[in-house]
Structure 1
Amino acid sequence: MHLSTAKLTMFAMSFVSVLAFANQLSGDSKTTEKSVWRQAPDLPIAMQEVYPAVFKERIVVGGGFTPSETPSFFGLGPTRDVYLLNPPTGRWQKKPSLPEPRHHLGMVSNRHYVYGIGGFTGNKDDAWQIQRTVFRLDGTFREWRKGPSLPIPLAESVYANVGKNIHVIGGKTVSKSTGKHVDSDAHFVLINNAYWRKAKPANILRSSAASAVIGDKIYVIGGRVTSADNKNVRDVEVYDVKKDTWTTVAPLPVASGGLSASVLDNKIIVSGGEVFGPNSNWRAGQAFKQVWSYDPVNDTWTSLHDMPTPRHGHGMVTLNNTLYVIGGAAKVGPQETLSSVIAIDTDSQ
């Protein structure tokens, strides 16, 4: 169910007033002004299945699926490439490459490091090899070094920084009994950049979810359930770091996997995602361009301006009151991988 009171007409990539989006965030959906999405600097290469992070006032992205001359999955392969965007310069810089190619590499930062966690390695025989390895890059941006390995292999998890500690929740792991990929409820916390500690597991087994942090709470949003024919879910769970407890809040209006989220003006903005067809057939699926805003005070979802094109496997970050949507793919699975980046600017006052 759409919670907005007016249908908003999209004018793709137009430069328009910030007021329209700000009014929507505040709950005023009476405005019908043009889309507030604008074009931001494109990535140097097309890249999907990315989890970008903000570190030292820069956006860091890498470790995704890119078009490859030695593909492991329908023309795509994992990459070592890492790029940084310093928004005032308007250009991406290539920075130290990862020690090895990855896709679905979970990037997340604290004050000291940006981390690249788990994800998949792959080759033409097996594109989906889940990893435990963790890499990290300090503020000199010179070299990725090994960090503390995860207790178990994990990929397609959600990643969050609360205080100075890094949280990794859910995703896919390898079954000890069958060796097959299964969804996980695991929850690990990286303490003092030194070791992983177990925290209370999630209530829902899922992968390809999105997450966002407001205060001391981590919101885990949507995703899909591998054991249920990759069925998408609407569920939203909230982890309270101080209480080590999980609670449930209002579900997403539409079930979606491969979506992304970030925080803007104390609201959680969720965009895109995809749904597979019957029997997990991605060719028969659909990618989404919908955008939603969640108000944690009122526990309500509101429909915002659609993105100009559908995206899944994209990343979202917020830096200096601007929300960026990075890369991804315009069609389900390995189709139409994107280099484009779009953004919304808004005054937080």
Structure 2
Amino acid sequence: MKKFFAFTVLLILLLIGGGFLARTTLGWNDGMREARSEIHATTLNGKLYVAGGIGLFRVLDSCEALDLTSNSWSGCGKLPRALHHVAMAADDRHVYASGGYVALPFEADQEAGLFRYDPATSAWTEISKLPHPIGQHAMTHFDGALYLIGGQDDGTDLNTMWRYDIAADTWSAMQPMPTARHSHAIARAGPLVYVTGGRSTEFGSEMKQVDAYHLTEDRWENLPDMPRGRGGHGAFVSNNRLHIFGGESLSAGKVLADHDILDLETMQWSAGEPLDQPRHGFAVSDKEISGDITIVGGGARPGMETIYSVTGTAQTLAIDTIE
């Protein structure tokens, strides 16, 4: 009996050690204090903020901030509850987090809170209730308001665009998206928000559609489809070019590293520098530094395999700024 017990303990230790070694060798562990996937990020005062997400076999309530100049991580308080697929945005004073799921795989947060983080106090506060529970959505800030884009509510794909006036604490329904979707990526440049890819019941798990929303005009327009459909990816706009990178193909069962670029003048697609490591469900800085953007966390394996392949890595991606 003692030999069996000792063997079992040794086996467990070897599995843990082997798993740690594999994670380290594969580059899954460097950077964050807690590796995580199914996350969004926002930037405030030179720091990239990430809150919640799926950790190793669990849902997280922690928040971390990456100083984009010193490349150092620090804590930033805990969310009021553990959540994954939380959308994030920032104004010039605060960080905001909205919606998400409270359990694995996708149990919606019925409290549907909108939270605000104050860097001065390092505390999160619930400031409003969302119009309804929502997850796998995106959020951006523009001119004193937050905009919540798409997502799912109780498994139903959404084409909604909600506007939250921060000062007035009021919600307004804006012109809906042409295509309902979740697990999409967004990128904002001034008064334009680009919504890319994602998933839906109608179009499947690798959508190619790209739409642009005019924030000041409350209207949508369609742009050329992506060369390759994807969900759980990243997007960024720089120098009148829309960059799409990473994500996953659930039909092929793989995580992607490739990078497509849409020239917003010619409306032609081209290929860019791929990610160093394929990822999905990662977070992207919404500011560039010296022509690079920063990508943090994400899952190294597709679908729900993310629960054991969550990463804490920070990658940089060169954004072409040549006229």
- TM-score for both structures, normalised by structure 2: 0.83
Structure 1: runs of 5 or more not aligned? 1-40, 68-75, 175-180, 278-283
What is the Cα deviation at residue 141 of structure 1?
Answer: 4.8
Q: SS at 1:334's partner residue?
A: helix
Task: From 294, 300, 323, give the equivalent of 1:324.
Answer: 294
1:40-71 Cα distance to aligned partner (Å, 9 max, x none): x721221100001001221101210001xxxx
Whichever residue aligns with residue 311 of structure 1, its letter is R
Whichever residue aligns with residue 320 of structure 1, its letter is I
Q: Superposition pairs for residues 1-349 of structure 1, below 5 Å? A: 42-67=31-56, 76-122=57-103, 127-131=106-110, 132-174=112-154, 181-193=155-167, 194-226=169-201, 230-277=204-251, 285-317=253-285, 318-321=287-290, 322-335=292-305, 336-344=309-317
Q: Is the 8 A contact 1:182 1:227 kept in 2?
A: no
What is the Cα deviation at residue 345 of structure 1?
Answer: 5.3
Check 1:162–1:191 CA distance in 2 against 1; reply closer, same or farther (3 A cut).
same
Check 1:136–1:114 CA distance in 2 against 1; reply closer, same or farther (3 A cut).
same
Give the whole-Å Cα distance in 2 for the aligned partners of 1:345 and 1:274: 20
Give the whole-Å Cα distance in 2 for the aligned partners of 1:82 and 1:287: 25
Give the whole-Å Cα distance in 1 for the aligned partners of 2:106 and 2:211: 30
Q: Is the 8 A contact 1:96 1:141 kept in 2?
A: no
Give the whole-Å Cα distance in 1 for the aligned partners of 2:275 and 2:321: 21
Give the whole-Å Cα distance in 1 for the aligned partners of 2:106 and 2:172: 29
Whichever residue aligns with residue 54 of structure 1, its letter is T
Give the whole-Å Cα distance in 2 for the aligned partners of 1:274 and 1:146: 33
What is the Cα deviation at residue 94 of structure 1?
Answer: 1.1
Runs of 4+ off more than 4 Å: 345-349
Q: What RMSD in Å do the two structures reach over aligned CA positions?
A: 2.1
Count of aligned positions: 287
Check 1:346–1:261 CA distance in 2 against 1; reply closer, same or farther (3 A cut).
closer
Whichever residue aligns with residue 42 of structure 1, its letter is G
Structure 2: runs of 5 or more not aligned? 1-29
Check 1:130–1:232 CA distance in 2 against 1; reply closer, same or farther (3 A cut).
farther
* Aligned-pair identity (%): 23
Q: Is the 8 A contact 1:183 1:227 kept in 2?
A: no
1:145-186 Cα distance to aligned partner (Å, 9 max, x none): 012111011111121222222110110012xxxxxx110111
Which stretch shifts more, 318-327 or 163-172? 318-327
2:22 aligned partner: none
Give the whole-Å Cα distance in 2 for the aligned partners of 1:236 and 1:258: 14
What is the Cα deviation at residue 127 of structure 1?
Answer: 4.4
Give the whole-Å Cα distance in 2 for the aligned partners of 1:344 and 1:303: 13
By relative contact order (CA 8 Å, sep 6+), the higher-ranking structure is 1
